[in-house]
């Protein structure tokens, strides 16, 4: 019997192509399901320079670019020149301004506007390359992210019987979710003090995620602190808080995987979602703790970076006005269309 080799070749190609097409369609479908938010984000700083001051230094953190967030600086209004700098440890970027004290009326105002596109983050879908030395840094205690014998003991007991890093991370997530309460009463909360969180069992997002990070590191899972700005579901207005933070842990071949345990505590029905996923209603502002700015500040490293940092004659200035606002891009488009219609009158094409 004569075999038609063309038939074998065509069917062989189809046998390979059809599964690949199925994979491509599945990936495309999954990408289609990912939510995305595009906004114009503005930030205005206003403060009075004290009399007899000789030097003013300002660092304004620029929202980060990463696989889930695209940032473009649209405009910057400042009374003097600026430069863009970056810290050498975490890669945070800044608008750095060094201003003379002889500003008109001693009032200094700086306004920046950004275009930001933020995607829903699904852990393991975008693996970022990172060096071994950088990963090892995310295994070490840092500042108030302290690892003591009690932390090591809790970590060991929490992950007992688990061998896969992902399973270990999930157990640690569940431990923190059960151990902590979102409670801002009393003193000591809000500093991201891992020992306070471990001993007292309450606090805000900084405390939740500081505890997760040290327990992960004690289990030899690299973990890092992420600071951001929360956005409400409204189309324009002010952020829904001064800051909001979360954590990420690193799994080889999957990359950085997010957890938002304080949001999971507030929304128990989304507890499963917030292990490995983040909604798009946020802006990533900075990474890390004990941050040395660029150029370096005169004072000690910053516990975390959630807003502009100002030094006058080498001393921090905390008394300044900070205004943040956003508009969804669809809102901007509607305004633009309205302006065009007004300019063009009611003429029909």
Q: List, for residues 124-171, the tens digit of each pLDDT value.
A: 665 566 778 888 999 999 999 999 999 999 999 999 999 999 999 999
Question: Angle 205-218/149-158 helices, nearest 10 degrees?
Answer: 80
Alpha-carbon gap, residue 280 to 238, rounded angstroms: 16
Picking from 244, 305, 241, 239, the residue whose alpha carbon sits closest to that of residue 274 is: 244
Report in angstroms the alpha-carbon separations of 12 from 17, 22, 272: 9, 16, 42
pLDDT digits (tens, 9 = 90+) for 10-64: 344 334 343 434 434 443 444 557 899 999 999 999 998 888 888 899 999 999 9
Alpha-carbon gap, residue 274 to 284, rounded angstroms: 16
Q: Please state, as a whole number, how many other Cβ atoms lie within 10 Å of the Cβ of residue 307.
A: 19
Domains and CATH numbers, the chain: 39-118+292-334 (2.60.40), 123-279 (3.10.620.30)
pLDDT of residue 210: 98
pLDDT of residue 125: 62
Q: Please state, as a whole number, how many other Cβ atoms lie within 10 Å of the Cβ of residue 5.
A: 8
Strand partners, 282: 230
pLDDT of residue 74: 97
Strand partners, 326: 41, 237
Name the token pair of 252.
Answer: 């080889």
Alpha-carbon gap, residue 120 to 272, rounded angstroms: 15
pLDDT digits (tens, 9 = 90+) for 150-162: 999 999 999 999 9
Alpha-carbon gap, residue 150 to 79, rounded angstroms: 52
pLDDT digits (tens, 9 = 90+) for 51-65: 888 889 999 999 999
Alpha-carbon gap, residue 268 to 177, rounded angstroms: 10
pLDDT exceeds cutoff 60 at 338: no
pLDDT digits (tens, 9 = 90+) for 283-294: 999 999 999 999
pLDDT of residue 20: 39
Alpha-carbon gap, residue 99 to 83, rounded angstroms: 12
Picking from 289, 281, 280, the residue whose alpha carbon sits closest to that of residue 247 is: 289
pLDDT tier at 107, thresholds 50, 70, 90: confident
Q: How many CA atoms lie within 13 A of 122 on its CB side?
A: 9
pLDDT exceeds cutoff 80 at 328: yes
What DSSP line would sit under 85-108, residue for residue?
Answer: EE-TTT--EEEEEEE-S--GGGEE
Average pLDDT, the chain: 86
Share of the chain above pLDDT 90, in %: 73
Picking from 248, 145, 159, the residue whose alpha carbon sits closest to that of residue 192 is: 145
Can you give the pTM of this predicted structure?
0.85
Cα angle 42, 71, 47 (rounded to 5 degrees) comes to 30
Report, as an integer, the average pLDDT of 215-240: 97
pLDDT of residue 234: 94
């Amino acid at each position: 019997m004569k075999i038609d080799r063309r038939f074998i070749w065509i069917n062989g190609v189809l046998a390979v192509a059809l599964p690949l097409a199925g994979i491509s369609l599945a990936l495309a479908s999954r990408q289609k399901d990912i939510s995305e938010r595009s906004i114009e984000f503005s930030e205005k700083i206003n403060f009075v320079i004290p009399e007899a001051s000789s030097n003013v230094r300002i660092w304004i953190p620029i929202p980060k670019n990463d696989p889930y967030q695209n940032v473009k600086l649209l405009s910057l209004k400042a009374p003097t020149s600026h430069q863009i700098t970056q810290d050498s440890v975490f890669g945070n970027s800044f608008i750095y301004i060094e201003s003379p004290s002889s500003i008109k009326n001693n009032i200094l105002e700086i306004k920046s506007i950004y275009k930001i596109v933020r995607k829903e983050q699904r852990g393991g879908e975008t693996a970022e390359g990172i060096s071994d030395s950088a990963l090892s840094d995310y295994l070490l205690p840092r500042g108030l992210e302290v690892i003591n014998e009690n932390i090591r003991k809790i970590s060991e007991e929490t992950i007992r019987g688990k061998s896969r890093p992902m399973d270990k991370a999930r157990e640690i997530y569940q431990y923190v979710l059960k151990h902590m309460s979102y409670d801002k009463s009393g003193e000591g909360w809000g500093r991201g003090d891992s020992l306070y969180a471990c001993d007292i069992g309450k606090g805000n997002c900084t405390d939740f995620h500081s505890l997760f990070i040290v327990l992960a590191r004690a289990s030899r899972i690299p973990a890092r602190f992420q600071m951001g700005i929360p956005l409400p579901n409204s189309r324009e207005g002010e952020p829904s808080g001064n800051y909001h933070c979360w954590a990420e842990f690193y799994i080889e071949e999957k990359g950085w995987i997010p957890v938002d345990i304080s949001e999971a505590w507030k929304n128990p029905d989304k507890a499963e979602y917030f292990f490995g996923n983040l909604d798009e209603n946020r802006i990533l502002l900075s990474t890390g703790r004990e941050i040395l700015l660029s150029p370096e500040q005169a004072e000690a490293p910053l516990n975390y970076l959630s807003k502009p940092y100002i030094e006058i004659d080498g001393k921090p200035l905390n008394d300044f006005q900070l205004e943040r606002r956003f508009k969804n891009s669809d809102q901007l488009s509607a305004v633009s269309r309205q302006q065009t219609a007004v300019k063009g009158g009611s003429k029909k094409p």
